[in-house]
Structure 1
Amino acid sequence: MKLLKAIVSCLAILVMTTLPATTVLAQKAPTVIAIVNRADWCGTCKAHGPRVMALMPNYARKPIVFALNDLSNPTTVAASKERLTKLGVENVQGPMIYTGVILLVDAGTHQVLKTVSMAEPNARIEAEITQALARK
């Protein structure tokens, strides 16, 4: 069972690292950037990350880009910073960055619209994403 969970987590991470490029191709101009803060050592991320990441394909044709911010180690932090810099949102979180959360950011103003815990039920996360998308 632990092996299966590890495989699912690895696949979810793989999807998240390739999803931003796929999502950008599916639309012209995103209105929301969802920064997903995760880490290998984060209990909330381990427990809820695969479930949350499974929601993301539902938004492939919506004006939203999901950006993985992997805080597991210095290498993943550097790769994530590069990805966030390309989106112009590398500094929206300020000095305190928490794992196990999704930040919904206005793609135009780079203002954080909402911070949602990965521990929230799917319905709550989807409602927050829908509300953020409706702002534009």
Structure 2
Amino acid sequence: MSTAKDVTDATFQSEVLNSEKTIMVDFWAEWCGPCRAVGPILDQIAAEHSDKLSIVKLNVDDNPETAMKYGITSIPAMKVYRGGEVVKTVIGAKPKPALEADLAEFLA
């Protein structure tokens, strides 16, 4: 089970857009195999870099409004938000070194 906090359509504004911290949202679904594969990797990255980056999860099936607003058409999709704006998008499950490379500017 993931340690990442779940956000919803109702909490997205307060938890993500209004956050002072850099936040990565993992857009996922229960039935998505690659989403389940990348979950533990994101948990590791979150634990190792909790001072620089928070990682939360949004289930696209349960929260279609937010998924539609941000144009989520394939999952897993990870979007990094800073100051309420999307500053980075990563699509697809990747091994930890590749994800860390994609997120290097936020983890340094």
What is the TM-score normalised by the length of structure 1? Answer: 0.55
Instruction: Find out whether 1:127 has 2:98 as its counterpart.
Output: no
What is the rounded CA distance, in whole Å, between the counterparts of 2:26 and 2:46 in structure 1?
Answer: 11
Structure 1 residue 67, shift from structure 2 partner: 2.2
Q: How many residues align?
A: 97
Q: 2:89 aligns with which of 86, 111, 114?
A: 114
Structure 1 residue 133, shift from structure 2 partner: 5.0
* Residue equivalent to 2:54: 65
* Residue equivalent to 2:78: 102
What secondary structure sits across from 1:47 in the alignment? helix
- How many percent of aligned residue pairs carry the same amino acid? 20
**Structure 1: unaligned runs, 5 residues or longer:** 1-10, 19-23, 85-89
> Greater strand share, 1 or 2?
2
Q: Is the 8 A contact 2:20 2:83 kept in 1?
A: no
Aligned-residue CA RMSD (Å): 3.0
The structure with the larger Rg is 1
What secondary structure sits across from 1:54 in the alignment? helix
What is the rounded CA distance, in whole Å, between the counterparts of 1:47 and 1:65 in structure 2?
Answer: 19
* Higher normalized contact order (CA 8 Å, seq sep 6+, divided by chain length): 2
Structure 1 residue 121, shift from structure 2 partner: 1.6
What secondary structure sits across from 1:123 in the alignment? helix
Amino acid at match of 2:98: R
What is the TM-score normalised by the length of structure 2? Answer: 0.66
* Residue equivalent to 2:10: none
